Amino acid sequence: MNFDEQTDGDYRIYAGAPEAPGDYVAAVVISRMNVRIGKPWEAWRDLGLSGAHRWPSPAEALRYAMAREREVIRSETQRLAC
């Protein structure tokens, strides 16, 4: 599996590109720092992010996962609140 990590404001993003037979799928986990307890907590997870879609390279799958993560953070901030 291929991984990538990024920080986006209060969020830590973990993207993965697990190998599927002959290609790759996308997965992402978003953690957010909980200021009350000073520890991160998992705010959102989607391990089947790509549905039935597959990418020919792990870089393409990771790029999709990171783009989807940004969309979730921007559009679902209420759902990601501590």
DSSP state of 2: E
- DSSP sequence for 14-51: EEEE-EETTEE--EEEEEEEETTTTEEEEEEEETTTTT
Question: Mean pLDDT, the chain, as a whole number?
Answer: 85
pLDDT at 24 over 90: yes
Whole-prediction pTM: 0.80
Q: Over range 16-45, report the average pLDDT.
A: 85
